[in-house]
Amino acid sequence: MSCKGKARETFGSRFAVIMAMAGSAIGLGNIWRFPYVVGEYGGAAFILVYVLCTFLLALPIFLSESIIGRRSGSNTFGAMEKLAPGTSWKWMGLLTVISPVVILSYYSVVGGWSVEYLFKSLAFEFTNTPADNVPRLFGTFITSSWEPLFMLGLFLMMVAGIVLAGVKSGIERFSKITMPVLFLLIVVMLVYSVTLPGSSEGVAYLLKPDFSKLSASAVAAAMGQAFFSLSLGVGTILTYSSYVRKDENLLVSGVGTGISDLLFALLAGFAVMPAVFACGVEPGAGPGLVFQTLPFIFNKMGAGAPLVSSLVAIVFFVTILVAALTSAISMMEVGVAYLVENRGFSRLTAVASIFCFALVVGALCSLSFGTLSDVKIFGNTIFDALDKLCSNFLMTFGGLLFTLFVGWKMKKADVEDELTNGGSLHHKSVFRVVYFLIRYVAPIAIIAIFITNLFL
């Protein structure tokens, strides 16, 4: 069944647009990567560079995707067919249909871990297990075969359920309810964390500006982090923008999303690092931080007040789960929109197809921590290989093509028309600055990250 001819759904309000987009942006990248990278690359000095990267590099790419999405009112593939008919740009449209579905596969493995850890915290497992055994729970869990697969399936079912409900009743409604709650929960965590004895060292870790650590690789790290954190280069922002009404201000929703993402990353930093230091543990990034270090901290803190600490653990894993869900639905929607609009699938079959694909590829990624750990692709496990392929190459490549498309392929008048809603918004000079960033600054910066990633 094709939905051709049916009116396309749109987000109901500006608040809905920003919540959905912030939902896509705010995810594991904010919680387990940002706090660590900040400390690693010079604290406040890095934060400064990161803010600049968000607005000078990430925002122009974000706006490029927004302009293509809303102008075409179509999914990534359809957008290229509409705006550049008969050209090879459609292949880039197809690439950006495939890459988010691949990211969805391995991202959902971690989503599944957060479901498991939520169950563990609800069962008071962190406070009831001897401290030294708490970090080991993680290894035992991810190397076992069936449990992580079951959790992967459970996570993907939640994602599929929300996406199936549609843009308005599913994605919009879920994001509008959960995103404000997410901010509230991270603030609760932050208050708990900074009031622990010995937490001030963690605050210093994030704030002490160390300009000597601001190397070229720190700048590349800031750009890469901003890129991943704002979900750029894989068509999620393009697809969500295709549901934005014509009278909405794209610049305002872009800036709103950028600020929300930045604010959440900072709040997460101050929620996580002070607790890590209060416990005297080495900070690290990635799964270890969230699934080993923090449960260990919940255990330590639980010695005095097991109930409070268990509640904080529950709050924390709910936060991670919801953050991962709102990002994962944006990845699934890209593929669903393509299958429905260009391949004539019903929404149900489209969701089911992507669910099955992500389940199979996700299962391989999940097993690559145990049974399949010997299977290596260029020296990496299946999980790591897909992660590197997507976050180091496909995302940056996609971002580059989006900015080149808007900056060099589309007519300048059309870009201006879309960004200013037919000349009714902004001063001319605002458009000139944004256009300059899209045409020159962003592509050059992306090529720089690409080269740095290739050699590092």
Amino acid (1-letter code) at residue 201: E
- Whether 299 contacts 134, CB under 8 Å: yes
Q: Which residues bind ligand PHE (CB under 6 A)?
A: 24-25, 27-30, 100, 103, 228-229, 231, 234, 236, 327, 330-331
Largest CA distance in the chain: 68
Q: Which CB sits closer to ligand PHE, 84 or 442?
A: 442
Nearest approach in angstroms of CB 429 to ligand PHE is: 31
Q: Is the dihedral of CA 167, 171, 177, 182 positive or negative?
A: negative
Q: Which CB sits closer to ligand PHE, 323 or 350?
A: 323
Q: Which CB sits closer to ligand PHE, 320 or 410?
A: 320
- Whether 225 contacts 25, CB under 8 Å: no
Nearest approach in angstroms of CB 24 to ligand PHE is: 5
Residues in contact with 360: Cβ distance below 8 Å, sequence separation at least 6, in sequence order: none
Tell me how far apart the alpha carbons of residues 336 and 105 are, in angstroms, rounded to a whole number.
15
Q: Which CB sits closer to ligand PHE, 131 or 263?
A: 263
Q: Which CB sits closer to ligand PHE, 126 or 228?
A: 228
Nearest approach in angstroms of CB 93 to ligand PHE is: 16
Amino acid (1-letter code) at residue 179: M
Nearest approach in angstroms of CB 7 to ligand PHE is: 26
Q: What is the DSSP letter of 56?
A: I
Nearest approach in angstroms of CB 365 to ligand PHE is: 15
Amino acid (1-letter code) at residue 245: R
Tell me the C-alpha to C-alpha distance, in Å, between residue 98 and each of 28, 234, 300, 358, 397. Answer: 21, 8, 43, 11, 13
φ, ψ of residue 166 to 5 degrees: the values are 105, 175
Nearest approach in angstroms of CB 247 to ligand PHE is: 26
Amino acid (1-letter code) at residue 12: G
Q: What is the DSSP letter of 333?
A: H
Closest CA to 382 of 136, 149, 105: 105
Q: Which CB sits closer to ligand PHE, 33 or 120?
A: 33
Nearest approach in angstroms of CB 293 to ligand PHE is: 19
Comparing every residue's Cβ against ligand PHE, the nearest one is 27
Q: Which CB sits closer to ligand PHE, 127 or 175?
A: 175
